[in-house]
Amino acid sequence: MTEQGAPLTDVIDHGTSRMKHASDCVAVLLKELKKLSNDGACRVLFTCDIANTFYGRTLLRHADTRPANVDDLTIARAFKKLFVNDWVI
């Protein structure tokens, strides 16, 4: 858990030191970038080459061998949130 107001480098350090939390840290960074962009603090260009992979089927399985849905993957959910058309121009 990172305290509010802590630098983003703390999130990066946590994600690189604890692999289990890495996808959550990437999700936090993407959310912060979008928020900073919408607040006018920085400009962000978001491009994606193969966007359909976030909406298709996966070959991954849960521990109990059920097929995993794309929305079960933290990193895929984080990137799909960037596709939402709520960016401020």
pLDDT value of position 37: 94
CA distance 41 to 25: 21
- Residue 3 phi, psi dihedral angles, 5° rounding: -70, 150
First CA to last CA across the chain, in angstroms? Answer: 32
Average pLDDT value for residue range 37-65 = 91
Segment 48-75 shows an average pLDDT of 91
CA distances from 43 to 2, 4, 38, 87 (A): 25, 22, 8, 11
- The pTM of this model reads 0.84
Mean pLDDT of 22-36: 95
67 DSSP β-pair partners: 61
Residue 51 has pLDDT above 90, yes or no: no
